[in-house]
C-alpha cells in the first residue's frame, strides 16, 4: 500500500473546480503506481478548514475530477477524523491498482502542528510513502513530514522531482544571462529571496508593490503607495550589494498611479519616485514595461515570481501582462514561480509557452531563497 501526499489544493467557485492543473500534475505518479499494481491511497489538504470538518473544504469534488481524468473510480471515504475505522477497512480491502482518496487532512487540527499521533495514524494506512506535494513542501506538517518517520520507505514523486529539477537547475546551474523578476506586494516577504538571487543572477528586476520601498529609499516620493519604512536601509543595502557583484538591478522608471484603490479610480502615468500625495502606484508604467521586456529578450534563463501591479483589477494588469508576453516571446528557459504569476500566465493563454510553471508559489519562493524544503528533506532522509 502506497500512501501519496498530493497537492490537490485547487481553486473552486460554488463547489466547481476552476483550475485542475494541480490534479493533472499528480497523474504521472499515480499512473506509475497503478501500472505497478500498488494499492494507492492519496491524501491532500484543501483550503484552510482550520482543524474542523467543514464540508465546504471536502475533497469530494477532487475525487470526482480525478476519476473523470483517469477514467476510473476513485474510492472516497469521507470521515471527519480523516482516518476512521471505515477508512482503515477500505484501505485494507483495496485491490492492487485501485485508488482511494482520504478526506482533507486539515480537517484535523493536528495536521499543521506535525503532531506525531496523527502522523502515525496516516502512516498506518501504507508501507511506502510518496511525497508529490510541491505546493506544501515548505511546510512541516503530519501528511508530508511527520508521516515519513513511521513508514518503511519515503520518497518524492515525479511532480516533486520535476519541480526540483527545473527550479534547482535554473537557480544553481542557469544558462546565462540569468534574469529574475520579482513582484508582489511586500519587500518584507522577499528579503531572503532578493538577497539570495543577487548572488546568482545577472539581472534582477523588481516591480510590483515591492519597488516603492526602493524608490523611497532612493529619495523619491511615493504618495500613498505600498511602503515599508523599516526596509529602507535594506533596500539601499541590496542596491549596494548588486552594484558590488556586477548585477544589474532594474527598478521601475514610471508607474501607473491612481487616486483610489479601485479599478474605476482616476489614473495617470508618472515617473517612478515622483508620485504626488493622494495618489498610489498600482502598476508599472509603459516605459518600465518596455525596459523589463527588453531585459528578458537577451536572457537565456528567466525566473518570475510575483505580479507587477494589482493585476486583479484589469486597469492595473497591463504591466503584468507585458511581462507575461515578454516571457512567452523569448526562447529562454522560462520558469514561473507559481501563485499569482502562474495564474496571470495561464489566464492570458501563455501557459504552454513557458518551460515550467511551478505548482507551488510559497514553496518556489523558499526554493529561490536557497532554503531546504522540509517536505523534500524528510523524504530524502528516509
DSSP 194: H
Residues in the chain: 382
Window 18-77: residues binding ligand AMP (CB under 6 A): none
| H or E stretch at 238 | helix 232-245
- Nearer Cβ to ligand AMP (185/347): 185
Cell output for 56: 465546504
Q: Which of 250, 282, 289, 324 binds ligand AMP (CB under 6 A)?
A: 282
Window 138-167: residues binding ligand AMP (CB under 6 A): none
22 is catalytic: yes
Stretch in the footprint of ligand AMP (CB under 6 A) among 77-85, 172-180, 184-192, 231-239: 184-192
- Nearer Cβ to ligand AMP (267/380): 267
- Name the residue number minimizing CB distance to ligand AMP: 184
Q: Which of 63, 83, 270, 310 binds ligand AMP (CB under 6 A)?
A: 310
Q: Which of 185, 274, 315, 346 binds ligand AMP (CB under 6 A)?
A: 185
Cell output for 226: 505600498
Name the catalytic one among 22, 65, 190, 216: 22
CB-based contacts of 349: which residues, under 8 Å, 6+ apart?
none
- Nearer Cβ to ligand AMP (169/267): 267
273 contributes a contact to ligand AMP by CB under 6 A: no
The residues facing 333 across adjacent strands are 301
Stretch in the footprint of ligand AMP (CB under 6 A) among 19-27, 148-156, 179-187, 322-330: 179-187
Q: HSE-up of 72 (CA within 13 Å, CB side)?
A: 13
- Nearer Cβ to ligand AMP (135/306): 306
CB-based contacts of 235: which residues, under 8 Å, 6+ apart?
187, 213, 214, 216, 217, 218
Name the catalytic one among 60, 113, 149, 186: 186
Q: Which of 49, 223, 285, 307 binds ligand AMP (CB under 6 A)?
A: 307
Residue in the structure block whose three cell numbers are 504626488:
276
The C-alpha atoms of residue 208 and residue 310 are separated, in whole angstroms, by 8
362 is catalytic: yes
184 contributes a contact to ligand AMP by CB under 6 A: yes
339 is catalytic: yes
Window 190-209: residues binding ligand AMP (CB under 6 A): 208-209
- Nearer Cβ to ligand AMP (129/234): 234
Torsions phi, psi of 254, nearest 5? Answer: -145, 160
- Nearer Cβ to ligand AMP (84/185): 185
DSSP 24-79: HTTHHHHHHHHHTT--EEEE---S--TTS--GGG-SHHHHHHHHHHHTS-EEE---
Judge whether 183 and 322 are in contact, CB under 8 Å. no
User: Judging by DSSP bridges, how do beta strands 254-258 and 280-284 pair with one another?
Assistant: antiparallel
- Nearer Cβ to ligand AMP (208/273): 208
User: Judging by DSSP bridges, how do beta strands 178-182 and 221-222 pair with one another?
Assistant: unpaired
319 contributes a contact to ligand AMP by CB under 6 A: no
Q: Which of 60, 186, 237, 245 binds ligand AMP (CB under 6 A)?
A: 186
208 is catalytic: no
SS3 content of the chain, % helix, strand, coil (to 5): 40, 20, 40
Q: Which of 340, 344, 345, 366 binds ligand AMP (CB under 6 A)?
A: 340
Show the site string, 208-247: x = touches ligand AMP by CB under 6 A, - = not.
xx----------------x---------------------
Number of chain positions touching ligand AMP (CB under 6 A): 16
Find the helix packing angle between 361-368 and 191-198, rounded to 10°: 40
Name the catalytic one among 209, 339, 360, 361: 339
Question: Exposure of 123 by Cβ count < 10 A (0-12 exposed, 13-18 middle, 19+ buried)?
Answer: buried
| Three-class secondary structure of residue 144 per DSSP | coil
Binding residues vs ligand AMP (CB under 6 A): 184-186, 189, 208-209, 226, 281-282, 306-307, 309-310, 312, 339-340
Q: Which residues are catalytic?
A: 22, 186, 339, 362
Amino acid at each position: 500500500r502506497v500512501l501519496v501526499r498530493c497537492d490537490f489544493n485547487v481553486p473552486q467557485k460554488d463547489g466547481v473546480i476552476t483550475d485542475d492543473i494541480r490534479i493533472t500534475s499528480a497523474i504521472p505518479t499515480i499512473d506509475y503506481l497503478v501500472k505497478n499494481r500498488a494499492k494507492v491511497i492519496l491524501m491532500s489538504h484543501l483550503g484552510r478548514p482550520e482543524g474542523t470538518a467543514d464540508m465546504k473544504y471536502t475533497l469530494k469534488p477532487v475525487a470526482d475530477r480525478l476519476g473523470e481524468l483517469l477514467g476510473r473510480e476513485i474510492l472516497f471515504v469521507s470521515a471527519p477524523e480523516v482516518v476512521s475505522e471505515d477508512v482503515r477497512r477500505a484501505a485494507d480491502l483495496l485491490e492492487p491498482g485501485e485508488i482511494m482518496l482520504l478526506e482533507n487532512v486539515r480537517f484535523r487540527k493536528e495536521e499543521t502542528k506535525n503532531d506525531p499521533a496523527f502522523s502515525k495514524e496516516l502512516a498506518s494506512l501504507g508501507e511506502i510513502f510518496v511525497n508529490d506535494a510541491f505546493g506544501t513542501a515548505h511546510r512541516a506538517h503530519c501528511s508530508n513530514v511527520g508521516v515519513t518517520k513511521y513508514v518503511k520507505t519515503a520518497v518524492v514523486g515525479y511532480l516533486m522531482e520535476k519541480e526540483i529539477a527545473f527550479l534547482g537547475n535554473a537557480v544553481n546551474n542557469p544558462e546565462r544571462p540569468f534574469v529574475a523578476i520579482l513582484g508582489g506586494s511586500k519587500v518584507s516577504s522577499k528579503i531572503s529571496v532578493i538577497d539570495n538571487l543577487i548572488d546568482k543572477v545577472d539581472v534582477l528586476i523588481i516591480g510590483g508593490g515591492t519597488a516603492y520601498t526602493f524608490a523611497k529609499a532612493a529619495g523619491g516620493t511615493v504618495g500613498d503607495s505600498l511602503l515599508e519604512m523599516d526596509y529602507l536601509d535594506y533596500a539601499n543595502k541590496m542596491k549596494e550589494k548588486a552594484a558590488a557583484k556586477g548585477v544589474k538591478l532594474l527598478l521601475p522608471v514610471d508607474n501607473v498611479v491612481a487616486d483610489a484603490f479601485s479599478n474605476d479610480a482616476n489614473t495617470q502615468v508618472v515617473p517612478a519616485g515622483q508620485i504626488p500625495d493622494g495618489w498610489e502606484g498600482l502598476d508599472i508604467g509603459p516605459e518600465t514595461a518596455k525596459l523589463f521586456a527588453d531585459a528578458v529578450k537577451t536572457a537565456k534563463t528567466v525566473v518570475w515570481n510575483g505580479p507587477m501591479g494589482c493585476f486583479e483589477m484589469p486597469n492595473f494588469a497591463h504591466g503584468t501582462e507585458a511581462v507575461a508576453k515578454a516571457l512567452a516571446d523569448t526562447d529562454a528557459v522560462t520558469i514561473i514561480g507559481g501563485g499569482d504569476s502562474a495564474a496571470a500566465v495561464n489566464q492570458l493563454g501563455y501557459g504552454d509557452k513557458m518551460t515550467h510553471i511551478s505548482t507551488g508559489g510559497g514553496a518556489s519562493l523558499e526554493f529561490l531563497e536557497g532554503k531546504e524544503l522540509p517536505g523534500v528533506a524528510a523524504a530524502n532522509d528516509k
